[in-house]
A and B are shown apart, each in its own frame.
Chain A
C-alpha cells in the first residue's frame, strides 16, 4: 500500500510539473498571438499559423497532463482515505482540473480552426486556465488576506506566462519574418509586453515573498526562505539577459542583432522555466510565516560553512543501516518515528546516523575533487595552449561510476536490494537517471571537444544536460517540518544549483552567439569558472 501510494504520489507530481509548464506555453502563446504577432503586420500570416500550431500542441499536452494529474491524485485520495470516486469528485482540485481540461480543449479546437476571429476569443479560456491554476495555489488555502493573495498570485502567474511562454513564440516567429525590419518590429512589440510583465512579476513576487516569508531571519533560516532567495537570484540573471537583449534591440546593426536576440532568448526560456519550477518547488514547502521553531541561526550557518579539510576516507559499509528505506518503513509501521507531517507514500523522517553523514560527505568531497579537476582542465583547454586538456569530459565517466556505486549503498551492486526492486524508489530512480545523464554528458562533450563531432545539436547536449541536472538540485526533497539539517543542506545545494545553471547556459551562449557579439568571449570563461567554484563548494560540503 505504502509503495503504491509512493508510485502514484511520484506520478502525480510529475504530471503537476507538466501541467504548470504547458500552461505557461499555452497562455504565453495566446497573448503573443493577440498582442504581438497579429497586429504587427499583415504579412504575419505565416507566423500566426506557426503560433497556432504550437498553441494547439501546448493546449493538448496541458489537457492530457492535467487529466493524468487529477486521476493520479484521485487514486491517492481514494486509496489512502478509503473513499469512492463519487466522494472524491467534488474536491477542489478535481473541479480546477476539469476547468483546465475543458479550457485547454476549447483552445485546441479554436487554434485548429485557424480563423483570425478566434484569436481574441482564445483569451477567455486562457483566463480560465489561469483561474484553475490559482485554485490550487497556496493563496487559495490561506486563512488571512485570501482574496488579495489570490489576485496577486494570478498576476504573478499571468505575467510569467506572458513573458516566458511568449518568448518561445518570439523564437518561433523570428525565423519566419520576411525581412529584418519586420523582425525588429516584432521584437520591439514583444519587448514592451515583456517590460510590463517583468514589472508586474517583480511587484507581485515581492508582495508574495513579504506575505509568505515574513521576516529577514526566515530568508536564511528556513527552506522556504532559501528557495525564495534562489528564485530571486535566478530572476536577477534573467533580468541581466533581458537587459542585454533590450540593449541589442536598440542597436543599429542588422543580421547579427537578430541572431544574438534569438540566442539570448533561448537562454532566457531555459532559465525562466527553471525559475517557474523553483516557484513550483516552493509550494511544496509550508510558508516560512507558518513555522515557529527550528530556524537556523547565523552562528549555525557560519559554523557549517567554515572551511575544513575534505573527508577522503570512507566509513565502512558495515557501519551503515542494512536497508535505509526498509528501516524507515519498519520504524514507521511500528510507530517509532517522529510524528512529523508528511505526504502519503513517504515513510516518515529519521535522523541520519554519523556513519551515513560521513558516507555522504565522502561522496561529496570526491565528487568535488573530480569536478574541480574538470574545471581546471576546461580552463586550460580554453587557453588553446594545452590540447591534451580537451579530454576533460572523460573525467565525468569516473564521476558517473562513483555516483552509481556510492549514492545508494543499500541497493545493487553494493547492497542487498536487487536492481529492479530499487527502481521503484523514486529517489534511487532519480540517482540512476542522474548517473546516466552524466555518462551521456561525458561522451557527447568529449566528442565535441576533440573534434569528433561538429553538428550543432550534439554540441548543445553538454550545456543542456548541465542546466537540467543543476535545476534538479533545486528540488532536492524537502521536509515539511523545516528540519535544521535539511535547511543547512539546502544552503549548500542552492549555490551549487545556481552555479550549474549559469555554467550550462553560459556554455550554450558561447556556442550559439554570433562571433561578432563580444559577450560570447566572456561566456567562454564564465562556465569553466563556474565548474571550478562548484568543485570547491563540493569539497567543503558538510553534514555535521
Chain B
C-alpha cells in the first residue's frame, strides 16, 4: 500500500466511524400537534370521537391507536380510512367513567415511527 493510500484509508475509516457513531438519531419524526381529547382533558362519555393531528403526513394504514382502560386492559381502535393526510381519526364507544390513555404509534410518510400517549378522563354526560 502506498503512503497516500494509507492516508486515504485513515480519512475514509475516520469518516465512516464518524458516520456510524453520529447516526445516533438520523430520523425524521412526526410529532403530535393537537388532539381530541386533548392531553389531561376531561370528556363526557360514554362515546367519544378521537382525532390526532401531526406536523407531517401520516401513513394511516400502518399507524396504530390503542385505548388503555382504567382496569389496565387494552383495546385496539379502528382508524378511519378517510381523512386529512396529517391526521388519524377513530371513535371509542361505551366508556364508563374513569382515567384512560390513548397510546398512538404513527408511521410518517418519510418512513419513520413515533409513538406517544394522551391521558384523559371520561365523566358521565
Contacts and interface: CB of A to CB of B under 8 A. Distances in A.
A81 interface: yes
30 contacts: A14-B20, A16-B27, A17-B19, A17-B26, A18-B16, A18-B20, A77-B107, A77-B113, A81-B107, A81-B113, A96-B111, A138-B28, A140-B57, A141-B56, A142-B57, A143-B86, A266-B7, A266-B11, A269-B11, A270-B14, A273-B19, A281-B25, A286-B31, A339-B116, A456-B7, A461-B10, A471-B22, A475-B24, A475-B25, A476-B24
**Which 10 pairs, one residue from A and one from B, show the smallest C-beta to C-beta distance?**
A17-B23, A93-B111, A141-B56, A339-B117, A284-B25, A290-B55, A464-B14, A141-B109, A283-B28, A475-B24
Contact of A13 (B11, B24, B108): B24
A142 to B, nearest CB: 7
Contact of B21 (A269, A339, A468): A468
Contacts of A477: 24-25
B62 A76 contact: no
B113 A341 contact: no
A335 B119 CA distance: 9
B86 to A, nearest CB: 5
B73 interface: no
A475 B85 CA distance: 30
A433 B8 CA distance: 23
Interface residues of A, number: 76
B64 interface: yes
Contacts of A448: none
Interface of A: 10, 12-18, 20-21, 73, 76-77, 80-83, 87-88, 91-93, 96, 135-138, 140-143, 168, 171-172, 175, 266, 269-270, 273-274, 277, 280-281, 283-284, 286-287, 290, 335, 339-344, 426, 430, 433, 456-457, 460-461, 464-465, 467-468, 471-472, 474-478, 480-481, 512
B59 interface: yes
Given A21-B19, A143-B85, A335-B119, A481 B31 contact: yes
Contacts of A512: 7
Interface string B24-38: 111111111100000
Nearest to B5: A175
Contacts, number: 207
B17 interface: yes
B24 to A, nearest CB: 4
Contacts of A138: 28, 56, 110
Interface in B37-60: 39, 55-57, 59
Contacts of A465: 14
